[in-house]
Amino acid sequence: MEPIKPTKIKTRKSNERIDEPLTAAEMGKLWVTYTGNTMANCVLEYFLQHVEDSEIKKILANALTLSQSLVSTIKNIFEEENFPLPIGFSKEDVNLGAPRLFSDEFYLHYLKYTSKAGLSIYSIAIPLMIRKDIKDFFIHTLDSTVQLITQINEVANQKGFYVKPPVLPIPKKVDFVKKQNYLRGFFGPIRPAHSLEVAHLFDNIENNVTSKALLLAFSQVAKTDKVKKFLLRGKELTNKHIEACSKHLHKSNLPSPPLLDNLVSESTFSPFSDKLMLWHKIDMFSMKIRSYANGGSLNGRRDIGAMYGKLLMDVTLFVEDGANIMIDHGWMEQPPEAINRNELAQSKRNHE
């Protein structure tokens, strides 16, 4: 297994100047990538303290090398632009001496889960980037993440941990939808789910079974009562979402991915700060918003569409409540924002 090459992006020298200022898109995507990967560094360093399988260890090491290189490159860009370096997460947010919380198999599911979230950020970023150095950075980051998820899937498949999406029969001929009842989902005869519906139902279940296991682990080690209750609520919510999506696969006599709860140990000693665990789950629930919206956009049945609408509402309310807890504890960093013109006008008025 080849290591993923660290990011090598040419940035300006001390005597050079790039007259092109960072756009809102460049600033925002760099900010969220930096913050997310400081968190990933903490998690992956802890995972590496408790891994026995040599192949899984190599993948974890590759993921950590990639994450560290992203943080380093963005730090250089921010310093060159005199941009305040986000605090993100540090050694204060991880206890590398904490007992094992997950099995080796879980690491592969977790890496796939978080890599998919990274792919969604980086792929959307590339068309929005104007400066060549920033665009090159995100292209390299996307390519490196694709390499990583390919390695994850190959090893998971070799070890029997990979659950393949359902196989559908190849159509006998090209056909067209002839009646409006193709869209039906609540009453009368309902057609089986089509391939795109199956793909996204499966993908959302796969994400959610990993999310549920992570919530289970985090809830049993969280120190703050408010954070613990929030994580337990997230676990129950995620379980309902798994059942909702699985029901539609089962109606078409198709299998769904199994739960991963058994891959969490009985440890109640936390390896991570409550700030990290809360931020991590808010971030990953935000990924669910993107994933559910994507599934809904490629859906052709009213019942599945209505389900995605309900799931989106659940997640949106949950993320907002989590953000309020972050704000109450002073844990939520503020992303770069536009100028508040009303505030400027009020400030001028107060000085006159």
Question: What is the share, in percent, of the chain residues with pLDDT greater than 90?
Answer: 81
> Residues 285, 198: one domain?
yes
pTM over 0.75: yes
> Residues 136, 232: one domain?
no
Structural domain contains residue 336: no
Residues 6+ apart with CB under 8 A from 8: 140
Structural domain contains residue 177: no
Structural domain contains residue 234: yes
> Residues 98, 201: one domain?
no
Residue 345 — very low, low, confident or very high, per pLDDT cuts 50/70/90?
Answer: confident
Structural domain contains residue 57: yes
Angle at CA 200, nearest 5°, toward 198 and 206? Answer: 100
> Residues 305, 235: one domain?
yes
Boundary residue ending a domain (158, 179, 202): 158
- Mean pLDDT over residues 68-81, rounded? 96
- Mean pLDDT over residues 307-313, rounded? 96
> Residues 127, 199: one domain?
no
- Mean pLDDT over residues 89-100, rounded? 97
pLDDT value of residue 119: 94
> Residues 137, 234: one domain?
no
Residue 192 — very low, low, confident or very high, per pLDDT cuts 50/70/90?
Answer: confident
The domain that holds 300 is classified in CATH as 1.20.1260.10
Count up the domains in the chain and report the number: 2
Q: How far is CA 159 from CA 27, 105, 150, 261, in A?
A: 40, 9, 14, 19
Structural domain contains residue 5: no
Structure confidence by residue, pLDDT tens digits, 37-67: 999 999 999 999 999 999 999 999 999 999 9
Q: Is a pLDDT exceeding 70 seen at residue 349?
A: no
Nearest CA to 194 among 113, 300, 284?
300
Structural domain contains residue 352: no
Q: Range of 273's domain?
A: 194-328
Q: How far apart are CA 208 and CA 229, in angstroms?
A: 19
* Residue that wins the pLDDT comparison between 304 and 337: 304
> Residues 241, 319: one domain?
yes
Structural domain contains residue 178: no
CA dihedral 323, 324, 329, 334 (to 10 degrees): 50
Structural domain contains residue 40: yes
Structure confidence by residue, pLDDT tens digits, 6-44: 555 555 544 444 678 999 999 999 999 999 999 999 999
